[in-house]
A = this chain, B = another copy of it.
């Protein structure tokens, strides 16, 4: 589990910037018709014909967003793509290109970056995305990765955060809290490893949570499903900072409130067990965990029959008028206002 971060092979200073780019990107080929020209000129060229272009960007910083003591670089590369394409799916768009820039300190060898690019390539293949450019540079400390993802959608198919209407159903894909539960396990094992590096932990009972943390997937399948069911959500967002935080974003953009039912929250049994082990409230973890990269969306009541009992989708509540605010309703009918407790980068506790 704990990869050797520094296999002391080829220092980056042995390669020039251009040779490094050539080596890291040699196995990437352009596959999408919209990718006219990729790496190798001052800029990449794209042609989306009449479609609307969708653009998103994310910055991942070592020590803030990832910890290489338990996050293998290949997984990090994969996750960096997932985080971005997830934002495009949240617009009901199809990703087609990414640019990848990184700044790496001299602690990183060529082989380490090669592992990062293996993960990027695996994700590009899985999501049908072309690597079309980027920038590579040294840093004075640590690794920073910046990805911009581009995609497209027909103009009338785009789903924004605004658009939720009173009485719409609130739907979430997959289940919640898994990535946060997995993080608790990894942080505990890191602490154990520091005390006793020879300890061989049995993590087999935590595989789901760990996978949700280390190798999340963006819900391309859900976007395809909605298309095949002929459902156009009235609003949509991906769950990166936690369900509570995303509900508040939808509420603000759509000028509505929400009633969410605690007993409807989809939580994997393993996540409940991890919560018990760590004495965490599983509802709190599901509401505020973050990094699940599930889709949260609202649909008209008329779509109820199409989605009820679908194994990928759970109806967790409904849209109310704005004055009601965002409320979590528990099994006893008690109403609790939803507040954002998700991850915030600039918090004092960091």
Contact = CB atoms under 8 A, between A and B. Distances in A.
A125 interface: no
Interface string A123-144: 0000000001111111111101
Nearest to A103: B61
Q: How large is the interface on A (under 10, 10 to 19, 20 to 34, 35 or more residues)?
A: 35 or more
Given A17-B345, A37-B160, A137 B59 contact: yes
Contacts of A52: 36, 45-47
A126 to B, nearest CB: 19
Most buried by B among A20, A97, A99: A99
Interface in A296-340: none
A226 to B, nearest CB: 15
B238 A42 contact: yes
Copy number in the complex reads 2
Interface stretch (A85-93, A189-197, A265-273, A281-289): A85-93
Contacts of A61: 103, 137-140, 144
A305 to B, nearest CB: 28
B135 A42 contact: no
Contacts of A37: 160
A214 B289 CA distance: 44
A161 B42 contact: yes
A43 B93 contact: yes
Nearest to A45: B52
A44 interface: yes
A48 interface: yes
14 contacts: A16-B344, A17-B346, A42-B91, A43-B90, A45-B55, A46-B52, A55-B97, A57-B146, A58-B135, A64-B139, A101-B146, A103-B144, A139-B144, A141-B142
Given A45-B158, A59-B146, 6 more contacts: A17-B345, A43-B149, A43-B151, A57-B135, A63-B139, A144-B144
Interface of A: 12-13, 15-17, 20, 36-37, 40-50, 52-59, 61-65, 87-88, 90-91, 93, 97, 99, 101-103, 132-142, 144, 146, 148-151, 155, 158, 160-162, 236-238, 253, 344-348, 350
